[in-house]
Amino acid sequence: MTILVTSEKLSEIINVPVWTIRKMVREKKIPAYSPNKKSYLFDPEEVIVAIKTFTIQ
């Protein structure tokens, strides 16, 4: 089962500032789900895979 978390919780999980997460979303470097136009939710596993992918390149 996939658990979606807020940017604040994701920040704690992957140990990066919230502003960095928001920047990566704007640059489309990490996957994000938007249930409304004001907030995003993240699957931590997908984000970690995405970060590893663009870090290796």
Residue 32 lies in a domain: yes
Residue 36 lies in a domain: yes
Task: Give which of 19, 17, 26, 24 is closest to 52, Cα–Cα.
Answer: 24
Residue 33 lies in a domain: yes
Q: What are phi and psi of 43, to 5 degrees?
A: -95, 110
Residue 1 lies in a domain: no
Q: What are phi and psi of 16, to 5 degrees?
A: -135, 155
Residue 50 lies in a domain: yes
Residue 30 lies in a domain: yes
Q: What is the pLDDT of residue 2?
A: 82
Range(s) of the domain holding residue 41: 7-56
Q: What is the pLDDT of residues 23-38, one digit of tens each?
A: 999 999 999 999 988 8
Q: What is the pTM of this model?
A: 0.86
Q: Please count the structural domains in the chain.
A: 1
